[in-house]
Structure 1
Amino acid sequence: MQHVTLQHYLSRLQGALASSNLWLDDQGRARGRYFNASLTSAFQAIRAGDDLRVVAFEGYARSYDPNDQGLNIWRLLDYVANDEESVELDRLCRLLHTINFYRQQTVGELDLFLSVHSRLLAAVEGNHGAAFRRILDVLELPHQQIVLQLPQITPSQRWVLAHVAENYRRNGFRIGVNAATVEQGSDLLARVRPDSLKVDVSTAHHPAAQLALLEQADRSQCQVIFRKIETDRQWTHLQQALNTVHPYFVQGFLFDQPRATLIADADATSPPETAIALDRLCV
């Protein structure tokens, strides 16, 4: 059985009340409560180039809906939560996504992308990533498979981004960044040295610049992910522009809608006897 310690923790959550901060619902999904909203996870695949094989999933926080039609919880709460509350929500979402990802037995060696909210960059003064790393260590989950995605920044935030990225790197995490343009992506590759770089496909209009970015990323051993691919036209245009030996990855509604289930779960065996309490670690 995969992730034995996590399975035990899930057995404890099964007995938690729905009024708790964290519990399992009757479908086996981890759910959390924040500002009287019930939260859970949805996952969208990240696929590799032309053959479109799944290499990773990105976790999103959603209000609970039994039919995977929940709302983006950050859009609901971003304007009512202060910085401290946003940091608490950010950490709760990371724990939810981690549990909901690794509880599914068919995950294998796939990576998990988790976003870091922009408010957390400046609001946390201490060692970024230390609390999350402690949770993963307690649950005996592989931090090497987790990519922490940093948000898009303004030029004045460059030093903050570099500082936070180095903190996460010291705690053993891989780093992802988001670029508003191909040109910004090139700058981030040089300054932050990320493990992955995301660029909106709508900004990728110049094949020569895209190929130069892929070449730079290849030298830096960084994955480039073109995201928000929503139409056949966008996908065909990208394929034609990137007729290259350099690898790239894609993500978007054309290929996958975010949903709670990755693949059908394998049968789970009985959990061990020891118990863990993690709720306090994520705040």
Structure 2
Amino acid sequence: MIPPTIPSLLEHATAHPFLHEHLALDAGAPSALAHAHFHGMRIESGYQPIFDVSMSGIQTLWSAPESADRFGDELGFQALTLSPGGMPFDRFESIADSQELVALDRLARTLHAINFFGAQQHGLLFLRVHERLLKSVKYDHGQHFSSVLISLGLNPSRIVIELPSAAVAHRTFAGYLAKSYQRHGFKVAGNLPNAGHIMTVSDMARLDFLKIDGAAVLRDSMAKPLIAYANRLHIPLIFDRVATEAQFDSLQQFGARFVQGPLFEPHGPAMPRDRVD
């Protein structure tokens, strides 16, 4: 089977009138990425690595975080929705119409998938869904996105749908969402509102991953019990927003395995994390 390319995926996307209208390829660059335009706004993709620091090279990773791309193993990448110049895209909050929000959210996720798979990236692609989209779509969450991916020849099982903390805080709703997305082939991660909320996870549909703000966990002195409880649940726990070597060192000592955040960005300043699809 021939691996997909970004141009070939965009060609397949012409079968979807909405995608054909809003997706385009950056011309003139050897490794051109696709971008989207929506109501006069240009939307681009960025990716932040999620590392498995239980692999070899941990000490070197700690002492030279700028070389993190050469050490350990990447579980996958967090998709970032950016505006031109690598700035965070925060126009979601300015969209009042629910159907326009649904369209933009779906467009951004499709864009990230095309750029990720078309570049033959390895590992899993983590995609967040906007909280308002979850409220606007009444049932069968994941059906539309799964059908789009399959029509492009892409495998939904390599995509992790991240539920926002506001949704995870409601165990019944979170369980319903997880089952729905998993039924359509996706993996599901839940962003924990706080460390104590992990106590409700066992009552939900089985999540594939848990995520939490690593800096907040360390500040609240909850890293050790949180990791122990996640291990009992047999659900991988990802510490997000790890920004300093001291935070990484502390999490490593407590037995953390999966980490992401500005510390592990291979080049330049930290990539924006707050507005992702």
TM-score, normalized by the shorter chain, greater than 0.5: yes
2:183 paired with 1:170: yes
Shift of 1:40: 1.1
**Structure 1 residue corresponding to 2:101, chosen from 73, 86, 89:** 86
Letter in 2 for 1:195: D
Unaligned 5+ runs, structure 2: 15-19, 59-71, 273-277
Letter in 1 for 2:226: L
2:85 paired with 1:72: no
Does the Cα contact within 8 Å between 2:5 and 2:117 map onto a contact in 1?
A: no
Structure 2 residue aligned with 1:264: none
Q: Which moved more, 1:199-208 or 1:48-57?
A: 199-208
Q: 1:208 to 1:123 in 2, by over 3 A?
A: same
**Partner Cα separation in structure 2 for residue 206 and residue 230 of structure 1:** 13
Structure 2 residue aligned with 1:57: 77
**Partner Cα separation in structure 2 for residue 258 and residue 94 of structure 1:** 18
What is the root-mean-square deviation of aligned Cα atoms in Å? 2.8
SS of match in other structure, 1:254: helix
Letter in 1 for 2:229: Q
Letter in 2 for 1:81: A
2:263 paired with 1:254: yes
**Structure 2 residue corresponding to 1:157, chosen from 161, 170, 181:** 170
Structure 2 residue aligned with 1:275: none
Shift of 1:208: 7.9
Provide, for residues 124-170 of structure 1, a one-character-per-residue CA deviation record: whole Å limited to 9, x for no partner: 01311011111121122121111000001178733222222211111
Letter in 2 for 1:238: L
Shift of 1:221: 3.2
Does the Cα contact within 8 Å between 1:13 and 1:24 map onto a contact in 2?
A: no
Normalised by the length of structure 2, the TM-score is 0.79
**Partner Cα separation in structure 2 for residue 155 and residue 165 of structure 1:** 10
Shift of 1:9: 3.0
Does the Cα contact within 8 Å between 2:208 and 2:235 map onto a contact in 1?
A: yes
**Partner Cα separation in structure 1 for residue 113 and residue 144 of structure 2:** 14
Structure 1 residue aligned with 2:25: 24
Q: Which moved more, 1:150-159 or 1:92-101?
A: 150-159
Structure 1 residue aligned with 2:156: 143
Q: 1:231 to 1:135 in 2, by over 3 A?
A: same
Provide, for residues 93-133 of structure 1, a one-character-per-residue CA deviation record: whole Å limited to 9, x for no partner: 1100000100113x23x010000110012110131101111
SS of match in other structure, 1:153: helix
Structure 1 residue aligned with 2:215: 202
Does the Cα contact within 8 Å between 1:3 and 1:140 map onto a contact in 2?
A: no
Shift of 1:179: 0.8
Provide, for residues 44-83 of structure 1, a one-character-per-residue CA deviation record: whole Å limited to 9, x for no partner: 0000125342220010111123xxx2x222x233133322
Q: 1:89 to 1:151 in 2, by over 3 A?
A: same
1:101-120 matches, within 5 Å, as 101-105=116-120, 107-108=121-122, 110-120=123-133
2:231 paired with 1:218: yes
Q: 1:204 to 1:254 in 2, by over 3 A?
A: same
Aligned residues: 245
Letter in 1 for 2:9: Y
Does the Cα contact within 8 Å between 1:122 and 1:160 map onto a contact in 2?
A: no
Letter in 1 for 2:138: E
Letter in 1 for 2:159: I
Does the Cα contact within 8 Å between 1:32 and 1:40 map onto a contact in 2?
A: yes
Normalised by the length of structure 1, the TM-score is 0.77
SS of match in other structure, 1:32: strand
1:219-234 matches, within 5 Å, as 219-234=232-247
**Structure 2 residue corresponding to 1:124, chosen from 134, 137, 162:** 137
SS of match in other structure, 2:249: helix
Q: How much identity, in percent, do the aligned residues show?
A: 30
Does the Cα contact within 8 Å between 2:131 and 2:167 map onto a contact in 1?
A: no
2:52 paired with 1:36: no
